[in-house]
Chains A and B, each alone.
Chain A
Amino acid sequence: MTAVTASTPSSPFGRAWRTVRLLTTNPWTVIGWPLVILGAIFVMTWTIWWLIFASVDPADLTETADGIRFNGAVSYIFVYMLVISVQAVNLAFPLALGFGSTRRAFSLGSGLAFVLLSAAYAVVLTIGAWLEELTDGWGLHGAFFRTFYLATDAGWLAQWWIYFCWFVFFFFTGTIFAAMYVRWKALGLTAAFVALGVLVVATIAVLTLTATWHLFWEALAELGTIGIASAALVPAVLAAVVGYLVLRRATPRG
């Protein structure tokens, strides 16, 4: 007869790491499917380019190549990661608590998982961007990874940083809305959207009433893709902190 006894206490990192593993229990969800879908979107986008180039006047080629730098095909993977983080907080959180995790360990672990996934996916996209440049836009002067919004000429590390920042932004934006939902259900989610709406409208109002839109656009141009991506870390960190504070007093319900 062996009585069930307390085992050696785990470390704070060990407890957080369990959450990282829990969120990647089914690797197809976080690694397999996103890459498969990204590949499929790439093939479709490339096919569309090919059709476009096949049908334009050769004289307009440069202009066309410029035009397709504005496509948003790669943005799918950012939105996918936002969904991943929403699911993590909404569904993995209740399970983690059932397994005896603390909210703190879950929050630290999910944050760690999101930062690691951001870093890894940023590497994938940077490799894509490198290949894109190497093949002169996949043989068609196309821009799938190095779109107008994401490209930089400041080197591959800077390119990686831009992707990384945007992944972090989307992951943590997802967590705060999911945390509001877990804590206060539909009411919390509605309040979060209303707050966001008010913020956006207020910003627009201020820029319009003070006639300072030109300053806004100048600031964006000044920041460039690196600056804007880095700035996205500010709301991301804010969302991470507020998300934890919301989750800290949340009770998973059936």
Chain B
Amino acid sequence: MSTVIRVDGLSKTYGAGSGAVHAVSEATFELAENRIYGLLGRNGAGKTTLMQLLTGQEFATRGTISVFGEQPVENARVLERVCFIKESQRYPDDFRVKHVLKSAPWFFANWDAAFADELVERFRVPANRRMKKLSRGQLSAVGVIVGLASRAPLTFFDEPYLGLDAVARQLFYDVLLADYAEHPRTVVLSTHLIDEVSNLLEHVLVIDDGRIIIDADADELRGSAVDVVGARSAVEAFTAGREVLHRASLGGLATATVAGLDDAGRAAAREAGLELAPVSLQQLVIRTTTLGDAEPENGEPA
């Protein structure tokens, strides 16, 4: 499997001195071809900045980026294979939905017009409405339609769920999986609604405060931690010396999210009369990102 994106020591700093904002700090990671990646993190964590860096829209302060083996900035060979409709994408004032769909094919060699028309119908986007008059959900739907119908070898979806109703979210999920199966490509999906997409993702990057704090296979990550529930004293005894991501207690009961529990550890927990419960991806991310002293995957604290 070949590598599509290789990022090494990437930093983006706005401003200088004590007021400097470290939007991305020392990020190092690789994305392989034809997989679906989740770029997860809180609002303002640096997701959009990172995607702008990867698509040559933003300029790195330090570090290197290689997309399809080349640096992306002002590089037509790279950018012609990339589709990135930002969540906050702006459109010309005179553009209606149909104008977006009319102009997109000029830029994307693999554009499928029939597929785009079908999606407009299914997402119930009013093709004749001005882009300025669209609701938040309809605006997201246009971004999703362009992203899907472009069939760009590297497609970014920036907060595609914003404003979409439950039906439309399910539709996006179904269509993306079906089309991805037929036309494999590399997809990077950024969102803070983690549970919604967790089944879609094959690999997860979690960014917090500009740092990549998790870079792991989605399945591996789901199995990487487990909730241990039981009497407070038993939980405390069991977790002593183990890596605990999160603790909560209510009366005599306690819950601890324990990382890296192997089979022997699980057996020991059961023997101690403790119950084991799976941790959802969302819970895992929340517990990792709210923990002040989280060990970053790489990079220095900003």
Contacts and interface: CB of A to CB of B under 8 A. Distances in A.
B34 A100 contact: no
Contact of B110 (A7, A87, A96, A97): A7
Interface in A91-106: 91-92, 94-105
Contact of B93 (A2, A5, A91, A97): A91
B115 interface: no
A92 B99 CA distance: 12
Interface string A236-254: 0000000000001101111
A209 interface: no
A6 to B, nearest CB: 6
A100 B94 contact: no
A51 interface: no
B106 A18 contact: yes
A14 to B, nearest CB: 9
Interface residues of A, number: 41
A252 B51 CA distance: 13
B184 to A, nearest CB: 5
Contact of B57 (A3, A5, A97): A97
A26 B182 contact: no
16 contacts: A1-B183, A1-B184, A2-B182, A2-B183, A3-B183, A6-B68, A6-B153, A21-B103, A87-B94, A92-B92, A98-B83, A100-B55, A102-B76, A102-B79, A104-B74, A254-B87
A102 B106 contact: no
B81 A100 contact: yes
B133 interface: no
Given A4-B152, A22-B103, 8 more contacts: A4-B184, A8-B109, A25-B103, A26-B95, A29-B94, A95-B95, A99-B104, A248-B74
A218 B269 CA distance: 98
A9 interface: yes
A251 B52 contact: yes
Nearest to A12: B76
B89 interface: yes
Interface string B31-53: 00010000000000000000010
Contacts of A248: 74
B91 A95 contact: yes
Contacts of B169: none
A10 B90 CA distance: 26
Given A87-B92, A91-B93, A99 B108 contact: yes
B105 to A, nearest CB: 10
A98 B76 contact: no
A5 B82 CA distance: 12
Interface residues of B, number: 48
Contacts of A87: 92-94
Contact of A9 (B34, B80, B102, B108): B80
B59 interface: yes
Given A4-B185, A7-B110, A25-B102, A98 B85 contact: yes
Contacts of B83: 98-100
B86 A254 contact: yes
A91 B82 contact: no
Contacts of B110: 4, 7
A9 B103 contact: no
A109 to B, nearest CB: 11
Contacts of A25: 92, 95, 99, 102-103
A28 interface: yes
Contacts of A254: 86-90
A192 B152 CA distance: 38
A69 interface: no
A205 to B, nearest CB: 36
A22 B94 CA distance: 12
A29 B93 CA distance: 10
Contact of B89 (A3, A6, A94, A104): A94
B202 interface: no
Nearest to A250: B57
Contact of A91 (B56, B87, B92, B103): B92
Contacts of B57: 97, 251-252
